[in-house]
Amino acid sequence: MGTSSPAIGWPDELVETLVTGGRQVIRFDHRDTGRSDCVDFATDPYTLADMAADSLAVLDGHGVHAAHLVGASLGGAVAQWIAAHHPERALSLTAIMSSPMGHNAGPAWERAMRGQAPDPDDLPPPSPRFLQHLGRLAGMPRTTREEQIAANMETLRVLNGDALPFDEAAARAYAEAAHDRAENPQAALNHDLAGRRLTEDRLVPLSSIKAPTLVVHGSADPLLPLPHGEALAAQIPGARLHVVQGMGHGFHAPGLPRQIGEVILAHTEPA
């Protein structure tokens, strides 16, 4: 799953679509989310490579040598890392609403936040509405359970965008369950720190990926606009780009989880 998201960030409807289609699905809580251990990031900072190692350890624990890797957002970068560094573990790769794992979004974000013109080599920063939301979020109280859930709901609403309806009931159920499942809800913010650490292992050419690759991206993604998905697909030989019209950065639109599940089913169909 993506930044700060536990296993249940993969909606039940999406998982049930895959299981009904004959797939075995493993979803798990990243470190610092859900029921997994929390880390003192200041003392023991971790990287994308560490999160990839966690993923491989989960496969090892289930006795699975190779799997169809599916990652969303930061999870898409984790899946890229595995496919690039451990190709024998990847039957296929599906990266959803993601960006090339070696891309450093920091400078583009900073220029956008300061109102400066983008660099011609930049992939586009988040939408102005999302950047404004980050400013509001910094001033929102997030001490109590109710305040934290309210802040997360506003983030989910902005990430959904306006092109597709926002499934508020599903989003609230997720926000409440994710909060209540976590040992320390604030620890998940460490994912932002890990995601920004552009270590050398992330710079391996994506052209080295041999797994059949599908890149799924929303046309209305406010966090990682469509050029991020286009850039990712362009760097992996033979990768196919599937654009979901109106999709933002998340699965909280009615019918969307099933739609994405069906796309994954088709990509992982045995030859």
User: Of 139, 137, 168, 200, which Cα lies nearest the Cα of 4?
Assistant: 137
Residue positions annotated with a catalytic role: 73, 221, 249
Token pair 């573990």 in the structure block, residue: 89
* Cα atoms in the 13 Å half-sphere on the side-chain side of 94: 20
Q: Which of 249, 244, 197 is nearest to 76 (CA)?
A: 249
Q: Are 157 and 129 in contact (CB under 8 A)?
A: no
Among the listed residues 51, 85, 93, 90, the one whose alpha carbon sits nearest the alpha carbon of residue 67: 90
Q: Which two tokens stand for residue 31?
A: 């470190």
- Tokens representing residue 161 in the block: 């965008």
Q: Give me the amino acid identity at 243.
A: V
21: buried, middle or exposed (CB in 10 Å: 19+, 13-18, 0-12)? middle
Q: For 78-177, where are the E strands, in sequence order?
A: 90-96
CA-based nearest residue to 45, from 195, 204, 203: 195
**Separation between Cα atoms, residue 24 and residue 157, nearest integer Å:** 31
DSSP, res 169: H
* Rounded CA separation 55/191 (Å): 15
